[in-house]
Amino acid sequence: MAAEEKGALTEAVFYILLALHEPRHGYAIMQGVQELTSDRVTLGPGTLYGALSTLVEKGWITAHADDQNSRRKDYVITDLGRSVFQAELERLEELLTHAKLVQGSEKV
């Protein structure tokens, strides 16, 4: 992974990659994320599609035409996308561990 790709993922990208662990079209991604977060994260259409085309360009997800409707595109995460997502999970876990460590020692 290039150095510039080591930063934090945006919340939109994080949830899109999570939703695309199984193939989904645009509206299904939006609904999936909304359900998972109990409506806290509602991806704007412009935000969602901007992120999708960037992620396709980066090779983190792939797009192919939907079987039922050729105007629709199905997206799914790639191996590269999975490794980026895994690295992000490790980063987030580290943040949590550090926060708990400091806050825990404060209370003692």
Partner 1 sequence: MRRRVFKMYVNYEKEEKWLNQMAAEGWHCVDYFFGRYIFEKGEPGEYTYRIQLLENHLKHPDSVAYLQFLEDAGIEMIATYVRWIYLRKKTASGSFELFSDRESRITHYKRIMSMLLPIAIVNFVFGVGLLGNPRPINLLNLAAACVLAIPILSYYRRMQALEKDGIIRE
Given the rule CB under 8 A, which residues bind partner 1?
8, 10-12, 25-27, 30, 41-51, 53, 69, 71-73
Instruction: Report the nearest approach of partner 1 to the CB of residue 103 (Å).
Output: 21
Please say which residue, 57 or 106, places its beta carbon nearer to partner 1. Answer: 57
Please say which residue, 31 or 101, places its beta carbon nearer to partner 1. Answer: 31
Please say which residue, 75 or 77, places its beta carbon nearer to partner 1. Answer: 75
Q: What DSSP letter does each residue of 46-74 carry, written as one string?
A: HHHHHHHHHHHHHTSEEEEE-SS-TTSEE
Instruction: Report the nearest approach of partner 1 to the CB of residue 68 (Å).
Output: 12
Contact (CB, 8 A) for 49 and 73: no
Instruction: Report the nearest approach of partner 1 to the CB of residue 8 (Å).
Output: 8
3-class DSSP state of 24? strand
Please say which residue, 22 or 57, places its beta carbon nearer to partner 1. Answer: 57
**Alpha-carbon distance 103 to 97, whole Å?**
10
**Alpha-carbon distance 56 to 35, whole Å?**
24
